[in-house]
Chains A and B, each alone.
Chain A
């Protein structure tokens, strides 16, 4: 718990510095958000810029499900971000999966760093389903993950595998493509 707090403190300091640099102006009394808070916002925002095929939402009351595979690094940030929010009048639901075998039907699947090693299983498990896969693993073997979050000089950058998304019948808004880096289609 103490370690966590220290880490959080370090992250807060870093975030503050990033924000200061980013905006080129001082933010009065504001505390720079933690990395995972930013990533939680990203996850949430993906729901806005990505279109799912209609079959993903057969039931009108079906909630929009964000799944977290593996250990949850958000420390409740994601819950906080999506609380009370809707997308196309659907409330957000966050589900957490322990491993691949737990995978349920979700719309966005965040693959935590430890789980990236199981990527092929995961991808095969998701094959045929329209699930936007997101990962922030540092590894170079993230091939097959649709959106990769990369910390680059303390700024979160996106790499989007358009081919993987297209394979998952997902339409990614071109607006999302602008600030992101499009990576090669490894599968095809």
Chain B
């Protein structure tokens, strides 16, 4: 400090001393010069006066040539000891008289100019001696300047003395005076030094007395105030930036808007902080209100007083929300002064500062961030700016979350679609395979079925045992046929027209128990798992109207699910009962219960969705969906009671059947009316033989053709030979020429001749309304005697109407 202080002190001192010294020097020099000049002039004037006097007194001496007199006159100069020489010259320039007497100033006055001048340290005067108008001669005077020099010396001495004294005084004064300037400056310097070392901008310089220094200190302090403010603002900005960063990062980690809002509000409550914060969503379609969706955790203590909850809809009127939803940040420094209901809520709760920040996305407001503080005017402009920026970030994050959600959903849907397509493809392949197998099986069992029926019908002499065996064979064949039919149901893409019939649920349950025994009993037992079966069936259960097959399939699926739900074993319970609601008819219920793992809420909610499965690759996700489809087609109800670990109960509720609406037609047992000439076309010799045998047993004449082309040829030949066929029975699937072409050829030859198409795919054709042209009837393999007879009767008697109904009855 001292080292730094010395220069300014010394400099101030030297400035003051130099100034005073220079002033003194200049003054003295000017004074001396003036005195020198005036004294010199005065000396010259004095000499001139003296010269004039001498000259005047010398005229007569010169005129009358009296050197003694002239010398006497000149001797008067003795009084002035500075006169070195005085000489009188005649007009001719010759010396006339001198003082001192023996020395002449110059040898001749001829070259002398009149006047007085300084030369060589002397004052030389040449004075004309004039009497009247006549020049009598010349006076030469020479005076030394020692007086002048003496005077100058004494003056210099005095000046030096005065200067010395002045400088001494100036030193003392300046030493004292400079402190008035240097000390405040040094103090200021110290303050600046302290500030820069400590970086403490709250320090202030002392205000010294004195105008400029005071102003300097004031200005410096003002600067400090500004710096301090700027630094505080900077700190606050940095803090804000950090907070913004943290909040942005926090909300960036969230992917759904509610959690983004929650994080945002918690951060605002803790960090900004605010006393209250909530977020409302704004739907431009319903532009009259803001729906509050999220309230900050810490803000909930105000919810009661504010009457703001998660479901509140705040109407938009003139309460600032209108401005906010137009995209403007609204700051109400004192809501107490605003008369509208929404601000008044806050005023009642003791919250006075309110900021509404719009959540803007692509210039459209989709929400409002509401933050509030208790004190009035509690938000600074930087707060507002911060909130504005924050709301932009939040809007962006929300938008991204929405985009993410939409993307996730699209992805899920895509995956599900892909899954569905794969499943469908799998089913289609399976179905095709099943269909092929079914076709072959149907073909294969057709002779068995036909002969068995024929034997039972036409051989009265059969022993009881044989009859019993044949009956068993017939039932087995029927079962095989139905199994094959059900197998094909798997890939059926469209439901056939539902043919309702009276169904006894108890009987169906029994059938299902038998059908699924392998699944719920045999397979688990192999793993040492025991599933006990319980049945609780109402004995006189009313029939219902429905599709036996579908209901059976549904129950089968339920058994499968129940079994799968009990990997550790348990109880499988079937229950049938009725209920009597107050208004209306009694309802019929069938329940399948297990004691397995049960379903959680999510699974319970989604379990009816197609392709939703909890079984992984083992499941198709179609079981319960099929059940649900059946329920809908039957106008029935489905109820699932389940909880995790509590097992599952699925209850199917049906409307009971009305009293006999349909009577089952009595099957036509034999050909009673006419015996017909028939053409039978097939490529399977066994089938041809069996059908031919059966029909011939009924009295018909049967001509067979092995293959489509032969059939057509035979038909044409017979028709042209005048022995036409009353009816053509043809197989559908044949090599080279199939049943369709046989039918077409037949109709081309004889449009009136009915054509019956027999097919292992028959059900499928019916289901898909694909009865080909030129075909009057389709019979599925294995053909039933009754069906065959009914079809023949219908088509040849000219009344074809009842056939489809009869056919449908047989579908089960």
Binding site for B on A (CB under 8 A): 22-23, 25, 27, 38, 41-42, 45, 48-49, 87-88, 156, 158, 173, 175-180
Contacts and interface: CB of A to CB of B under 8 A. Distances in A.
B295 to A, nearest CB: 135
Nearest to B64: A179
Nearest to A18: B65
Contacts of B56: 175
Contact of A23 (B60, B67, B131): B67
Among B65, B66, B95, B134, the one with the most A-chain Cβ atoms within 10 Å of its Cβ is B65
Contacts of B57: 175, 178
Interface in B53-69: 56-57, 59-61, 63-69
Contacts of A25: 95
Contacts of B60: 49, 173, 175-179
A149 to B, nearest CB: 10
B132 interface: yes
Contacts of A48: 63, 131-132, 134
A176 B94 contact: no
Interface string B59-83: 1110111111100010000000000
| Band of interface residues on B | 20 to 34
Interface string B643-666: 000000000000000000000000
A123 B398 CA distance: 157
A23 B64 contact: no
Contact of A176 (B64, B67, B134): B64
B675 to A, nearest CB: 207
A49 B61 contact: no
B132 A22 contact: no
A41 B134 CA distance: 13
Contacts of A22: 65, 67
The 4 tightest CB contacts between A and B, nearest first, are A179-B66, A175-B60, A179-B69, A45-B63
A22 B68 CA distance: 9
16 contacts: A23-B95, A45-B131, A48-B131, A48-B132, A49-B63, A49-B131, A175-B56, A175-B57, A175-B131, A176-B60, A178-B57, A178-B60, A178-B61, A178-B73, A179-B60, A179-B66
B131 to A, nearest CB: 5
A42 B132 contact: no
Nearest to A42: B64
A48 B130 CA distance: 10
A179 B57 CA distance: 10
Among B59, B63, B66, B67, the one with the most A-chain Cβ atoms within 10 Å of its Cβ is B63
Interface in B94-136: 94-96, 131-134
Contacts of A45: 63-64, 131
Among A158, A173, A175, the one with the most B-chain Cβ atoms within 10 Å of its Cβ is A175
Contacts, number: 50
Contacts of A177: 60
Nearest to B67: A22
Contacts of A42: 64
A88 to B, nearest CB: 8
Interface of B: 56-57, 59-61, 63-69, 73, 94-96, 131-134
A38 B64 CA distance: 9
B61 to A, nearest CB: 6
A98 B656 CA distance: 212
Nearest to B63: A45
Nearest to B61: A179
A178 B56 CA distance: 12
A81 to B, nearest CB: 12
B432 to A, nearest CB: 172
B66 to A, nearest CB: 4
A42 B61 CA distance: 11
A156 B65 contact: yes
Contacts of B134: 48
A87 B69 CA distance: 25
Contacts of B69: 178-179
A176 B56 CA distance: 11
Nearest to A180: B64
Contacts of A41: 65
A178 B66 CA distance: 10
Given A175-B57, A179-B69, A158 B63 contact: no
A158 B66 CA distance: 10
Nearest to B97: A23
A158 B64 contact: yes
B677 to A, nearest CB: 202
B127 to A, nearest CB: 16
A49 B133 CA distance: 11
Given A49-B131, A87-B133, A179-B69, 4 more contacts: A27-B94, A42-B64, A176-B60, A179-B61
A87 B133 CA distance: 8
A188 B63 CA distance: 30
Contacts of A178: 57, 60-61, 69, 73
Contacts of B65: 22, 38, 41, 156
Nearest to B59: A175
Contacts of A38: 65
Nearest to A87: B132
B100 to A, nearest CB: 13
Contacts of A49: 59-60, 63, 131
A41 B67 CA distance: 16
B368 to A, nearest CB: 127
Contacts of B68: 179
Contacts of B96: 23
A28 to B, nearest CB: 10
A158 B132 CA distance: 21
A22 B73 CA distance: 16
A103 B67 CA distance: 36
A176 B134 CA distance: 15
B268 to A, nearest CB: 126
B105 to A, nearest CB: 14
A133 B329 CA distance: 136
A175 B69 CA distance: 10
A43 to B, nearest CB: 11
A156 B66 CA distance: 9
Among A23, A42, A48, A88, the one with the most B-chain Cβ atoms within 10 Å of its Cβ is A48
A147 to B, nearest CB: 10
B9 to A, nearest CB: 76
A178 B65 CA distance: 12
A180 to B, nearest CB: 8
A145 to B, nearest CB: 17
Nearest to B65: A38
B749 to A, nearest CB: 190
B152 to A, nearest CB: 39
